[in-house]
Amino acid sequence: MNKKVVLQDLGHKDYKETWDYQEALFKEIIDLKVKNRRENTQLPTPNHFLFVEHPHVYTLGKSGDIGNLLVDENILQEKGATFYKINRGGDITYHGPGQVVGYPILDLDNFFTDIHKYLRFLEEMVILTLDEYGLEAERSKGETGVWLDVGTPFARKICAMGVRASRWVTMHGFALNVNADLGYFDLMIPCGIKDKAVTSLNVELGKKEVDMDEVKQKLQHHFQQLFEAEMMLQNSDA
């Protein structure tokens, strides 16, 4: 079991370019697993974790409802945003500047073969990170992601999640609002969940801006602890 995880910070990168890069890493792991099974070998499969910040983009999961995007293509262009139908679970979500987006591309055979546990660990990573900022974040029953003030009229989502898994290999991941422009969430019904608000870390802390690199470091630390992983930083050339 290879618990080494190669960490790359891609900086600001187009969504489609990043998706293609994810797919390439995902395929590399799948192909190696198939080769090991076919040839009865035990070559170690790699694991990756990508941090990235996207330009404005809306993505719709494979089971999502396009009706949850509330504007047409012309409005998206005016807002400088793009739209993609993609192959993760979940409904519609938004990515943009001021978000820390994370894509773990892991062979769960190296950790544990339980997709629900995987999602709960990603949520816990975010919950523990927000706790360091004095926020009591939590899960909302039946709604993947991380929330504040669950069970009250003021419930609001701060982190969205949607993943894909095949042969226990994961891709896609989470989007944590750190300094996000919340106006872009008004153009959709986030994750198809009506009547619940969205928030951002800087808003909750009453700050103009929160240090994004600091947030990434905290997320990395808690990921490493939860998954008992060894993180290896790699300069990005993707």
Catalytic positions are 191
Burial of 89 (0-12, 13-18, 19+ CB in 10 A): middle
To the question of whether residue 173 is assigned a binding role by annotation, the answer is yes
To the question of whether residue 189 is assigned a binding role by annotation, the answer is no
What spatial distance separates the first Cα and last Cα of the chain, rounded to whole Å?
Answer: 26
To the question of whether residue 91 is assigned a binding role by annotation, the answer is yes
To the question of whether residue 162 is assigned a binding role by annotation, the answer is yes
To the question of whether residue 121 is assigned a binding role by annotation, the answer is no
To the question of whether residue 38 is assigned a binding role by annotation, the answer is no
CA atoms within 13 A on the CB side of 133: 22
The total of other beta-carbon atoms located within 10 Å of residue 226's CB is: 15
To the question of whether residue 90 is assigned a binding role by annotation, the answer is yes
Known binding residues for substrate: 88-95, 160-162, 173-175
Known binding residues: 88-95, 160-162, 173-175
